[in-house]
Amino acid sequence: MQFRIINTIIILLLAAGLVLAFFELASFIYVLAFIVFYIFFLLIVATNVRFNFFVKSFSENRKIKENHIAITFDDGPVENTLEVLKVLDKYNAKAGFFCIGERIEKYPEIFKEIIQKDHLVGNHTYTHTRKMGALSVSRIIWEIEECNRIAEETAGIKLKLFRPPFGIVSPKTQKALERTGLKSVGWSIRSFDAVVSSEEIILNRIKKRIKPGAVILLHDNNAKTVNILEQLLLFLKNNHYEVVRPDKLLEINAYS
């Protein structure tokens, strides 16, 4: 709603600018520059869930006083998830796993093991399509509901938290979340573990951004994650940080 009003005002201003430019009362260059800037702005807010522009997301807890931090994993469950769970156990850390519905169907036992070990599980759509930004409201609702259906059939729980694939959000995502009643969970530290190959670069990027209340994004379907996680947990332990479940850190309910 907020976006619709802002968007309408900007489009009216642009139309007025084009009319003025047509009668040579304003410069076409300025109007064009404004259009380019606006498109750029929309791209930034549509691909950065933490800006809360289209969708209100829980991406960190700035009010937290203790040295608490949360780690989240996207795109599982896969076989590698079991290795990730072992490392978390070793450091007695509780994390969040945003799971893809199709993979829950493929690895139901791993999905159940995550829950058994008292980690959080959340919805990461059914297919994790790359076309997320182009989907209709009804298709986004289907993606969310299918993932929730398979999670409930597998483990008897109703997922309440949603992580948008690729962090891509739009006014349509907001509508789909309102209709399904799920809440969006983002992150404050993006590790880029899916695109950067050097473990050292990824780890240093995370370490530099660590602060109380932060939410870290990793991927449990990535072979590098196990090593990165072990070093990260060691670093956090040495710096007196406690890794807590994301729902506890963000003070929200994980299930309904």
Q: Where are the beta strands (DSSP E) in the chain?
A: 57-58, 68-76, 96-99, 120-123, 161-162, 183-185, 189-190, 215-219, 242-243
From the list 31, 57, 70, 75, which residue makes contact with Zn ion (rule: CB under 5 A)?
Answer: 75
Nearest by Cα to 70 from 218, 239, 255: 218
Residue 193 interacts with Zn ion (CB under 5 A)? no
Residue with structure tokens 């196990």?
A: 226
The residue among 180 and 222 lying less far from Zn ion, judged by its C-beta, is: 222
Distance CA(255)–CA(155), nearest Å, equals: 12
List helix spans (H) across 23-136. Answer: 28-47, 80-90, 101-106, 108-116
The residue among 145 and 242 lying less far from Zn ion, judged by its C-beta, is: 145
> Closest approach of Cβ 125 to Zn ion, in Å?
8
Candidate segments 8-16, 57-65, 72-80, 241-249, binder of Zn ion by CB under 5 A: 72-80
The residue among 74 and 247 lying less far from Zn ion, judged by its C-beta, is: 74
CA distance readout (Å), 88 to 229, 235, 240: 8, 14, 16
From the list 60, 74, 143, 220, which residue makes contact with Zn ion (rule: CB under 5 A)?
Answer: 74
In this chain, which residue has its C-beta nearest to Zn ion? 74
Q: Kindly identify the residues of this chain, within the stretch 76-105, that bind Zn ion according to CB under 5 A.
A: none
Distance CA(222)–CA(200), nearest Å, equals: 15
Number of residues that bind Zn ion (CB under 5 A): 3
List b or e across 17-45, with b for residues whose CB sees 16 or more CB atoms inside 10 angstroms.
beeebeeeeeeeeebeeeeeeeeeebeeb
> Closest approach of Cβ 179 to Zn ion, in Å?
22
Cα of 21 vs its chain's centroid, Å: 41
> Closest approach of Cβ 164 to Zn ion, in Å?
8
Q: Which helix or strand (DSSP H or E) is residue 205 part of?
A: helix 199-209
Contact letters (x/-) for Zn ion, 135-174, by CB under 5 A?
Answer: ------------------------------x---------
The residue among 128 and 160 lying less far from Zn ion, judged by its C-beta, is: 128
> Closest approach of Cβ 74 to Zn ion, in Å?
4
The residue among 96 and 165 lying less far from Zn ion, judged by its C-beta, is: 165
Interacting residues toward Zn ion by CB under 5 A:
74-75, 165
